Amino acid sequence: MEHLPLASFERFAFAVIAAIALLAPPLLGQQDRAAAGSPEAAWSNIQQLVQSLENAVQSKNLHAIHEPSMKIRAPIRSLKQHCSVLSVDIGQKMTAALKQLGNSITDLHSAADEGNQKEAESSLKEVQAATDQLKSLDPDTAFRSVVH
C-alpha cells in the first residue's frame, strides 16, 4: 500500500511532462511564425530572393527565376501590411516602392517564361531600382523605431 501514493505521483509527473512535451512545440512554433512574419524577416527574405533573381539572370538561367519570383510575393505583401504602422510619409513611400518591386518581379517572371534574356535583364534593373529605393528608406531602422 505504501507504493500506491508513489505510483500515483509518478503517473501524475509523467502526465505533466507529457503535456509539456506536447504543448511546447506548438508554442515555440508560434514564436517562430511571429518572428518570420516580422517586418525585419520580410525585408531580409526580400533581399535574399532578389539576390537569387540576380544570380539567375546573370547566369542566364531563366528557369531559376520562377521559384524566387513566386516566393518573394509573400514577404512583399507582409511588408506592405506592416507599412501601416509607419509615419504616413515613410509608409506611403515604402508602399509605393513595394508596389514597384512587385510589378518589376511580374515583368521579370514574364520575361523568363518567354525565354527572353534581354527583357529579363531589363526587368532585373527595375527590380534592383525598386530594391534600392526600399534600401534608401532603411526598413530595418524604420520598423525598429516603431513600438510593437
pLDDT digits 0-9 by tens, 92-131: 999 999 999 999 999 999 999 999 999 999 999 999 999 9
- pLDDT value of position 15: 56
Domain chopping of the chain, boundaries: 1-36, 38-144
- Over the Cα atoms of the chain, what is R_g? 23
- pLDDT value of position 30: 39
pLDDT band at 12 (very low <50, low <70, confident <90, very high): low
Closest CA to 19 of 27, 31, 8: 27
Q: Which residue has the cell 516566393?
A: 71
Supply the pTM of this predicted model: 0.74
For 38-144, CATH number?
1.20.120.290
